[in-house]
Amino acid sequence: MIIEVENVRKRHNDTVEALRGVNLKVAEGELLAIIGPSGSGKSTLLNLLGTLDRPTSGTVRVAGHDVSTLTDRQLSALRALHLGFVFQQFHLAAGIPILDNVADGLLYAGRPLAERRERARAALERVGLAHRLDHRPHQLSGGEQQRVAIARAVVGDPPLLLADEPTGNLDSASGRQVLAILRELHTAGTTIVMITHDMDIAQWCPRRVRIQDGSIGEDA
């Protein structure tokens, strides 16, 4: 199992318990959609899987590591080696060529700049943007920016890609391109966990997990 979540609760503050005893296992190579109403705890769960946050109680294991036992330094290493993250807002660095936006995804690996740039170029080629390497994010469409964000997330070849509504800000044609890239990554062996509110996209995933009021409902 690349992900094992056991009895996880997450309290954001005194009044909000966003997750109320979640159990979830994801095997290597799965493509899974997380669905559910707004405010049901989807992003909270994905952030825990991405080790961006810690559970109030319960266990989150990613690639065999119990996240609560790791130091900040070990968490950084886990994220750098095992995880790619894509958000609804693309989170690219403004004013910086997309080649370097993507190459910066490899900073942790400590490789020379020329090698980071070559791997970034290859990742951008994979998402169909090899002809735009020196463009700045604002010179690209939303769909192209999201493809850059995916290239940055996968430039280090992480086994696990987490995506929080990656098509949420895109028109349907751009959304389809982004999904085609995710499908290729899945076919190549990447495990993908994707939040979506789009039922067409959810139907297209082999497994759907529904979250309601901080608990897992249907899982099929």
Ligand X SMILES: Nc1ncnc2c1ncn2[C@@H]1O[C@H](COP(=O)(O)OP(=O)(O)O)[C@@H](O)[C@H]1O
The 22-41 contact track toward ligand X, x by CB under 6 A, reads --------------x-xxxx
Pair 51, 75: CB distance under 8 Å: yes
Pair 200, 7: CB distance under 8 Å: no
- Identity of the residue, 39 or 217, whose beta carbon is nearer to ligand X in the bound complex: 39
Q: How far is CA 214 from the centre of its chain?
A: 20
| Position 178, amino acid | V
- Identity of the residue, 43 or 145, whose beta carbon is nearer to ligand X in the bound complex: 43
Q: Identify the residue among 40, 43, 51, 146 touching Mg ion (CB under 5 A).
A: 43
- Identity of the residue, 43 or 190, whose beta carbon is nearer to Mg ion in the bound complex: 43
| Burial state string for 164-193 with b = 16 or more CB within 10 A and e = fewer than 16 | bbbbbbbeeebbebbbebbeebbeeebbbb
- Identity of the residue, 42 or 79, whose beta carbon is nearer to Mg ion in the bound complex: 42
Q: Binding of ligand X at residue 42 (CB under 6 A)?
A: yes
145 interface partner picked from Mg ion, ligand X, none, CB below 5 to 8 A per type? none
| Burial state string for 117-141 with b = 16 or more CB within 10 A and e = fewer than 16 | bebbbebbebbebeebbebbbeebe
What is the nearest approach in angstroms of ligand X to the Cβ of residue 179?
Answer: 20
Q: Binding of ligand X at residue 145 (CB under 6 A)?
A: no
Q: Which residue has the tokens 């987490």?
A: 162
Cα–Cα distance measured from residue 59 to residue 167, given in angstroms and rounded to the nearest whole number: 30
> Which region, judged by CB under 5 A, interacts with Mg ion, from 27-35, 43-51, 77-85, 113-121?
43-51
> Which region, judged by CB under 6 A, interacts with ligand X, from 10-18, 97-105, 144-152, 178-186?
10-18
Q: Which residue has the tokens 């936006």?
A: 101
Q: Binding of Mg ion at residue 174 (CB under 5 A)?
A: no
Cα–Cα distance measured from residue 124 to residue 210, given in angstroms and rounded to the nearest whole number: 33
- Identity of the residue, 137 or 214, whose beta carbon is nearer to ligand X in the bound complex: 214
> Which residues 6+ apart lie within 8 Å of 172 measured at CB?
none
12 interface partner picked from ligand X, Mg ion, none, CB below 5 to 8 A per type? ligand X
Binding residues for ligand X, per CB under 6 A? 12-13, 16, 18, 36, 38-44
Binding residues for Mg ion, per CB under 5 A? 42-43
